[in-house]
Chain A
Amino acid sequence: MKNRITVLFVLVLVLLLLSPVFAAGTKEAAGPVNLTFVETITSPSRTAQIMELIAKYEARNPNVKINLVSPPYEQSDNKLTLMLNSNQELDIIEVRDHTVKQFVNNKKLVDLTPYLAAWDEGDDLLPLTIAAANTVDDTPYLLPQFFYVKGLFVRTDVLAKYGFTTMPKTTDELYAMSKAITGKDRNQYGFGFRGKGSSFKISDILILSDVPNISADNIYQTEDGRFAFSTPEARKAVAAYVDLYKHAVPSDGVNWGFSEQVNAFISGSTPFLVQDPDTVGMVADALDPELYTVIPMPIGASGKTYLDYGFAGLGIPTTSKHPDLAWDFISFMINAENNADFCKVYGPLPVHTSTYANDPFFSSGVYKSWETEMSDPDNYVFVKYPLDSPKYPGWAQVQEQTMQSLLLGNTTVDQAIKSWEDYWK
């Protein structure tokens, strides 16, 4: 009697363990073709837009069903990497500038050359789009969908309050204005600092734009092969940046991430904010339009401004069983019309030449500044980060540490620059 009970008990347990295998799964074979689409720059509003586009596509193609997977932003790239590396069957994935190299290294992306060649909108893509697509090995492993280029958000009302009616055109002017506005006892500061979380994306533009002849292939190198920060101009610029922190930023700024940076702008305590166009929506939600504007990034002492073109796009994993169908969906998502509509609501810059030519949205209002940046190569030069390098993933933490150390006075400019030089050797 006792033995029977224990045996029964163990049996129940074993059944319980096996039950997930019998539990309903999401992949049913019969019926329409199922494509799995993984996005990584997840945000609730953007996901809603993607679902609308998916619905539109499914209406036109009733034999296809697209399953959208939207991991939370903070873990999304990591999760996608794990999924790819364990060979899960995925069909469309969101590829970003800092993940494309890794995916290609692990041979997870399909070469899109034949698809692009046959695409009727292929010629309509911006030269920048083609450059971004060919980031790795000069081969298009993704079709870019969005560009994230920095612009300078300005609280015109705060500037007016302190008597400034003109916008800063150069980095020096920006720094001067920020410091002039700052009054610590009034709890008023000048510059929306970024202290943590990819802070180098912002500091690099301001610092390195003072250095002449930065290589377009690698922002950290000059055209004659020197390490960019080791130049005398860069040294001066780093010192000026530290000085900006000391005189125009609350001491808390060294720990500011995206939220703090943007919130300081919205609350008015810092009238200048360097950010990507997808911040436009957030700011528009929180501030009335006559209180702010966006201007192009200030020009550096080199006479130019070096802008990094952050991008994200869609690619096809090698594990996909339906690459042609996946491409069909991708070319739908990123055709000129859908891309423009998406960007208007979501915020970043679209990827087709015709959009800029035909659609007044992207050349008016706050977007005028970005249009200026995109169409004035004499003053605004697009450069790449060394995304290829295996040292790139670890760079963010190292740079953050040394920069914070520098800002807090625990190290000198020369020591910081030397440690950066050593890192990239």
Chain B
Amino acid sequence: MKRRSPYPIVRFILLALYLLGAIFPLYWIFITSLKGPKEIYTMPLQYLPSKASLASYRKLFSFSNFSTYFRNSLVITLISSLLAMAVSIFSGFSLSRYPVKRTKGILQLVLYFTQTIPTFIIMVPIFTMFTKLGWVDRTGALMLVYVATVVAFSTIMSKGFFDRIPTSLEEAARIDGCSMFQSLWRVILPITRPGMAAIFCFAFINIWNELFLAVMLLMSNDKMTVPVALNSFISKAGISWDVMSAGIVIALLPTMIVFGFGQRYIVAGLTEGSVKG
């Protein structure tokens, strides 16, 4: 494995290949969304639409009411991600500084264990539990579940960030008379902002794309989220690729934007923050 290619040309070629490999499925979906319904299944394959048209997008927003679902997803994902980020700031910090080694180890095991859990095994129990509580069709309930699904990994990441920050900083703040809360708020957090942005990105992307819990816990058609809407383009009569491809492209935009801004922080954040060494 080359550590740093001595030949810039080779590097360029490799980078180009990676980009090509990454882009081509998106390209296919994108041009499909620009073809009219009669052009989608032609043989031989058309790599460029003969007449680019926004008909699929128009259909997506008018007929399929996509803007409602888009709004729902934005609200749910933003709130859940922010909440997860907030919670994991505290839990990550605590875990990082926890004085008792044994408990610390057990807690970490508990967190890692959550990653072994398949979503399906909790679907029915959560459904039953929420029905008993009367929390069916409540967006708030779904948000709580989403926070729970990402909080474990967020805490792990958060702990990593805090590990990189020497305790001397908060100790100095304490000596200066700050309470623990204040020292956390005023001294530590500003430094870990990139790390928090990274956590927010991870949470956002995972929650934005979540399908099964949303299907199970929401009822009203106007509360549905984007993945549910995309899934509803699959009916007994097959997949409506025109709206589906348009939907995939639109659904990708927020995550790409969040990711685009965030990846600067993720890389920087992970650099300053998490990765232990």
Contacts and interface: CB of A to CB of B under 8 A. Distances in A.
B221 interface: yes
Instruction: Indicate the member of A1, A47, A86, A268 with the most B CB atoms within 10 Å.
Output: A86
B141 interface: yes
Given A20-B144, A82-B216, A86-B127, A269 B181 contact: no
Contacts of B231: 72, 74-75
Contacts of A70: 221, 232
Interface residues of A, number: 50
B61 interface: no
A26 B137 contact: yes
A266 B136 contact: no
A259 interface: yes
A79 B221 contact: no
Interface stretch (B36-44, B162-170, B198-206, B257-265): B36-44
A39 to B, nearest CB: 10
Interface in A254-273: 258-259, 262-263, 266-269
A47 to B, nearest CB: 8
Interface in B220-255: 220-221, 228, 231-240, 243
Contacts of B136: 88
A266 B216 contact: no
Contact of A263 (B41, B135, B219): B41
B134 interface: yes
Contacts of B220: 26, 67, 69
A88 B215 contact: no
Nearest to B230: A72
Given A26-B220, A70-B221, A2 B237 contact: no
Nearest to A43: B235
A55 interface: no
A47 B234 CA distance: 13
A276 to B, nearest CB: 8
A193 B74 CA distance: 41
B244 to A, nearest CB: 11
B235 A25 contact: no
A86 B126 CA distance: 11
Given A21-B134, A82-B124, A268-B43, A278 B236 contact: yes
Interface of B: 37-38, 41-43, 63-64, 83, 124, 127-128, 131-141, 144, 179-181, 212, 215-216, 219-221, 228, 231-240, 243
5 contacts: A20-B138, A20-B144, A21-B134, A75-B212, A82-B216
Given A79-B216, A268-B43, 5 more contacts: A43-B235, A44-B232, A44-B243, A258-B236, A285-B38
**The 8 A-B residue pairs with the shortest CB-CB distance in the complex, in nearest-first order:** A43-B235, A20-B140, A86-B131, A72-B231, A72-B232, A259-B238, A267-B43, A23-B140
Interface of A: 1-2, 5-6, 16-17, 19-21, 23, 25-26, 36, 41-44, 46-48, 67-75, 79, 82-83, 86-88, 187, 258-259, 262-263, 266-269, 278-279, 281-282, 285-286
